[in-house]
Structure 1
């Protein structure tokens, strides 16, 4: 039986004021130099990338959250409340990793009361199966590459530009799923 639900991959990542150092171009003989303040201020970002299980025409949906500091069970529940609103209460199968906050007593108790949500766990040590990991890579190698911001707001603005770039390209979220080797809508067998 096919379940008419969104299959949503979820993941968190961290960013800081320390630049993501990447290769770049510079004039011949002059090595580019990144100048930044040594500042350990950190922010965390979470993304929920969803694909409809039975209707590929509905297209992927991307829900994004950014906050100073790190996520815990309470803050993740707040993010999932936003995901519920984002998906308008439609059934969601949430696929995420084994982070302790994902499977804490508080999270399991909260999830048990949610009729719209089913939690599934990715296999241990298999980040390559989560398309959101490719989202982080796309943003960190472009918008956040060599960014030496003075404030977390600079990093947040660059991250949001990256999210908008990815979401405005209809094929990019699908390519993340394809790269994992997973399929949501298998092709019908040919005769």
Structure 2
């Protein structure tokens, strides 16, 4: 593994106009009501959370992508193109799960042409090793909790606010990584 690369975890999730119902507080005797239209419109979001392997002091970087509908191979290649621009020439070791679209023939062919990118696969059934899962949890428990938007734009705005909140607090991405039990250690200098 290249020690001068960014270690980047990528994952996708979906959001919809159906609210993420969470416990809340209200005055005694006034049960809160969550009113929404029964609308199943969905959007998909992808986040790439990168840590520098050789220099953790450089800080984590978060790249985010939101689109209506779901991700397919072409849309994932678009996300990877955005990632390439985002990391501007840095080497990236991308770690993601075993979703079939991640390992499709087209993705592998596209990656084979990229000199900046190396793919690694998370173990099967191990989402707890991906810090981006904790990012999704943070968004869904805070900005998206009990959100009854009328349009996908309402959900997109709330999601963008959550990404901004996470980007403003550099300790959050580190806490996501720490919660997985994974660590980054700079290489020991040779004498």
What corresponds to 1:4 in structure 2? 4
Q: Name the CA distance, whole Å, in 2 between partners of 1:2 and 1:176.
A: 23
Shift of the alpha carbon at 1:186? Answer: 6.3
1:147 equivalent to 2:147? Answer: yes
Q: Structure 1 residue 105 and structure 2 residue 109: aligned?
A: no
> Unaligned stretches of 5+ in structure 1?
none
Q: Structure 1-normalised TM-score? A: 0.96
Task: List gaps (5 residues or longer) in structure 2.
Answer: none
Distance apart, 1:113 and its partner CA: 0.6
Report 1:41-60 matches (<5 A).
41-60=41-60
Q: Who is 1:94 aligned against?
A: 94
Superposition deviation, residue 2 in structure 1: 5.5
Counterpart secondary structure, 2:84:
helix
Task: Check conservation: 2:53, 2:186, Cα contact below 8 A.
Answer: no
1:43–1:66 CA contact under 8 A, matched in 2: yes
Q: Which runs of 4+ in 1 moved over 2 A?
A: none
Query: Per-residue CA shift, 1:129-186, capped at 9, x if unaligned?
Result: 0000000000000000000000000000000000000110010000000000001126
Please tell me whether the aligned partners of residues 3 and 187 of structure 2 are also in contact (alpha carbons under 8 angstroms): no
- How many residues are matched? 188
Partners of 1:2 and 1:54 within 8 A in 2 = no
User: CA RMSD for the aligned pairs?
Assistant: 1.3
Alpha-carbon separation, structure 2, partners of 1:186 and 1:114: 25
